[in-house]
Structure 1
């Protein structure tokens, strides 16, 4: 049995159909806020920006399902959203900012976007996904495609997907919806089919039947403008598109029309592929309870340093930067990093630098630690080390090009990567310059303001 496969799965046989999972977190930002503040569970929660002192423009990044019952939607202007859902809590976590007029019998909670915190939670999810699949394509901070063809079989695909969901719920504390299908587009639609906390499996031979009754908006890649034009052509469902003459679609939408026709018929030959070479490798580990003693923290740092250095060796990567992360209560993210004189493959050096960087947190209470190597180079070269340079201490980053990260601040170029615009055929046209990124559960395409975890393993 292949390592990581479910018991009883015989992978010696040939697999004729790919098994693709689309994993999509439910109201991810709101779920993260509930991890930090358990009293928010079951309450209407709006996460956004633009309602802090001095801000005049902003939008909803995500709204919990309870908040959506009041008509609050992702990408909605924050002012109108909060008119529908008056805040029960203050607009910031600072007690000095509390407005007593907003603490009476009101209906919901507002929290400003905290991307560093969300990225930290998402990194734990990403680690589980990479342990459960051989091929992972991260789409945004809260969704990814997995090719698990070599990990499971169609007969037990629902059990495998349930295993992924349960691990994420148990080890991270957030819920995800999973769609399983032979194609990426069908898996994406399936993950949305039974939200929240959904699991929908579309087996080979069932795709056309599954898609046929769905409204045209639900065809992967169809946005509101295209949906309106399809309806003008008399096409209301995916089944209508699947049986129509494709030529009028091609005349109206060009080659995109042909692709819509094929997607509606369940045809999608795209492969689940990672988004190019990673920019960094990282590992994190949380303690059951915050730890103040130095020894267990350093033990974990050494273990994580060994893990990322080993990953770099296996991937044939050299690295120029070593970094550590320390998350202190309640959930303050602190990162430190050091640049090296040149690209190296030197596990002992990674451990030594990681210990040095972590030293300032030696006596602090820490709930999670992490180690990463970054500025990767992939080349077939002999192993490099800094043994010849050890007479000089490794320099601190040049502030003109690589400023150290202040306490409580995680760099979007460090512990996380830039998001991918997604692979929808039609994107939302909201002005990203004035609105925050929405998490994927809100129904809009990620904007440039939303980071992903491409660089995490």
Structure 2
């Protein structure tokens, strides 16, 4: 999709950067609700150790409904089940207790859903930095601007009037909800640190916009621990110095902060004042490109399925060509009822750029599912190559079907880009991000 077709598109030469931080809300719990829609509105806890005979484990994430009972991410599972006994464990608690629905971590499924979200993000921005499975930064400066809209409804966040940038942020959030079915919160700001804070400002499903000129005012009253990079320990140290709010931190002597915390102290001082000159840089070249689309309801209409796959194949092939990418594998995803994710792929003898082959292969792989009720379809090209070189001859085409992720070792987490990379840890609070999603690196 070109920038000119997106809501919120403005002049490409806007003087101030426009950065979006997209943060999925209780992502694992939201994914479980995709599999089991009856869990919507119910307290959901994802973790390990709650099963009978097990006592050691932790909460990976808890829905907002579960948090109302004192259950939260990174909490020992023993404490969680005391506060909110599992429906699955009638032997725990009393008959009168409110109960929650506990589910084990299904990382393969979560990665599959995340790949759909990432496909949207890469479609809506020229530069995407994927920080983790459930959050990313987008630089959309070339696609929108801070230009005000003359006759808007009430603006979001710190903005006095709506801007084109807000329109694009709203479009991204609503497209994720509509096409993937999981909620996200979006922060829009002229720099990364402020955008991250903004995405947490009005959860869940929030949209907070902080235009240039409003950043310092927006940040000033916030507790110091809300500044990106200030964890609980650092917040305690700052409070010992009489620094309680972002405004206090911005007004503090940067020399004193450097003496106490080194260069990190100066960095936090700048962020508290709304200064963050980091550029949104991608974590690596994408390993695969995909497009997916849902039906309004599950269908067995083979003609409708084929029509959708043709459109998806054309979109994926065009996207690969726009990135000067060749591909060695062509695949599809078919989500069948109740919510079974099936992937099939064919590998080529060498890298190609061939839209007709993408369509032909995708339709061939689809034939396996044309008699089943299908909720969603996707087309993917992978094993990408961006180096200049000749394509493999199609005379030497050799295919091998890869079923359900198969022998090539591809996983849905690879669908859009590499994992967060070398400084991902610096982008989120240890153990628990502000989205309430417990890091599986800590969890495991």
TM range (shorter): 0.7 to 0.9
Partner of 2:153: none
Give the CA deviation at 1:5. 4.8
SS of aligned partner of 1:261 = helix
Partner of 1:276: 284
Q: Show the 5 A alignment for 1:132-211.
A: 132-154=124-146, 155=148, 156=163, 157-211=165-219
Is residue 59 from structure 1 mapped to residue 72 from structure 2 by the alignment?
Answer: no
Give the CA deviation at 1:361. 2.2
Q: Please give the alpha-carbon distance, in whole angstroms, between the structure 2 residues aligned to 1:268 and 1:429.
A: 21
Is residue 16 from structure 1 mapped to residue 31 from structure 2 by the alignment?
Answer: no
Q: Please give the alpha-carbon distance, in whole angstroms, between the structure 2 residues aligned to 1:159 and 1:413.
A: 29
Q: Show the 5 A alignment for 1:240-259.
A: 240-259=248-267
Partner of 2:320: 312
In structure 2, relative to structure 1, the CA distance for the partners of 1:426 and 1:30 (3 Å cut) is closer
Q: Please give the alpha-carbon distance, in whole angstroms, between the structure 1 residues aligned to 2:205 and 2:10.
A: 29
SS of aligned partner of 2:114 = helix
Q: Please give the alpha-carbon distance, in whole angstroms, between the structure 1 residues aligned to 2:436 and 2:189.
A: 22
Aligned residues between the structures: 424
Q: Please give the alpha-carbon distance, in whole angstroms, between the structure 1 residues aligned to 2:294 and 2:14.
A: 37
Q: Please give the alpha-carbon distance, in whole angstroms, between the structure 2 residues aligned to 1:335 and 1:52.
A: 30
In structure 2, relative to structure 1, the CA distance for the partners of 1:24 and 1:288 (3 Å cut) is same
SS of aligned partner of 2:271 = helix
Partner of 1:394: 399
Q: Please give the alpha-carbon distance, in whole angstroms, between the structure 2 residues aligned to 1:179 and 1:449.
A: 27
Deviations 1:46-89 (A, max 9, x none): 1222334675532212111121121111111222212111122x
Give the CA deviation at 1:27. 1.5
Partner of 2:435: 441
Give the CA deviation at 1:3. 0.8
Structure 1: state its 5+ residue gaps. 92-98, 431-437, 451-457
Q: Please give the alpha-carbon distance, in whole angstroms, between the structure 1 residues aligned to 2:314 and 2:113.
A: 22
Q: Please give the alpha-carbon distance, in whole angstroms, between the structure 2 residues aligned to 1:229 and 1:104.
A: 45
Give the CA deviation at 1:123. 3.5
Give the CA deviation at 1:218. 0.8
Q: Show the 5 A alignment for 1:283-432.
A: 283-382=291-390, 384-390=391-397, 393-395=398-400, 403=407, 411-412=411-412, 414-415=414-415, 419-420=419-420, 423=424, 425=426, 430=431
191-200 or 289-298, larger mean C-alpha shift? 289-298
Q: Please give the alpha-carbon distance, in whole angstroms, between the structure 1 residues aligned to 2:176 and 2:430.
A: 32
Whether contact under 8 Å (1:180, 1:191) holds in the other structure is yes
Aligned with 1:119 (options 102, 108, 111): 111
Deviations 1:98-118 (A, max 9, x none): x68789543222122223333
SS of aligned partner of 1:170 = helix
Deviations 1:318-341 (A, max 9, x none): 222222212111111111223222
Q: Please give the alpha-carbon distance, in whole angstroms, between the structure 2 residues aligned to 1:164 and 1:337.
A: 29
SS of aligned partner of 1:309 = helix
Whether contact under 8 Å (1:116, 1:333) holds in the other structure is no
Q: Please give the alpha-carbon distance, in whole angstroms, between the structure 2 residues aligned to 1:164 and 1:34.
A: 21
Partner of 1:80: 79
In structure 2, relative to structure 1, the CA distance for the partners of 1:387 and 1:6 (3 Å cut) is closer
Whether contact under 8 Å (1:137, 1:272) holds in the other structure is yes
Partner of 2:152: none
Q: Please give the alpha-carbon distance, in whole angstroms, between the structure 2 residues aligned to 1:226 and 1:27.
A: 25
Give the CA deviation at 1:355. 3.1
In structure 2, relative to structure 1, the CA distance for the partners of 1:209 and 1:85 (3 Å cut) is same
Give the CA deviation at 1:188. 0.5
Deviations 1:333-364 (A, max 9, x none): 11122322222223333333333333332322
Q: Please give the alpha-carbon distance, in whole angstroms, between the structure 2 residues aligned to 1:195 and 1:40.
A: 19
Whether contact under 8 Å (2:287, 2:418) holds in the other structure is no
Partner of 1:215: 223
Deviations 1:219-257 (A, max 9, x none): 101111211222222222221221111122222222212
Give the CA deviation at 1:419. 3.4
